């Protein structure tokens, strides 16, 4: 496991309005999956809901 000084944090989120589309995949989801598979990256994800 990498030391805390070498860990990269990845934070991203998408809105929950509407149906997911190609733009969601190309712009966010694809990169999120790629970073989640790296052991040197701490990944955090959220679904933003403006009505909450």
To which H or E segment does residue 51 belong?
A: none
Model-level pTM? 0.62
To which H or E segment does residue 48 belong?
A: strand 41-48
Q: What is the pLDDT of residues 5-15, one digit of tens each?
A: 778 898 988 88
Residue 18: the pLDDT is: 78
To which H or E segment does residue 22 belong?
A: helix 22-24
Tell me the C-alpha distance between 42 and 24, whole Å: 21
């Amino acid at each position: 496991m990498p030391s805390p000084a070498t860990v990269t944090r990845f934070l991203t989120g998408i809105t929950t309005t509407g149906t997911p589309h190609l733009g969601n995949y190309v712009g966010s989801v694809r990169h999120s999956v790629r970073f989640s598979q790296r052991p040197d990256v701490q990944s955090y994800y959220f679904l933003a809901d403006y009505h909450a």
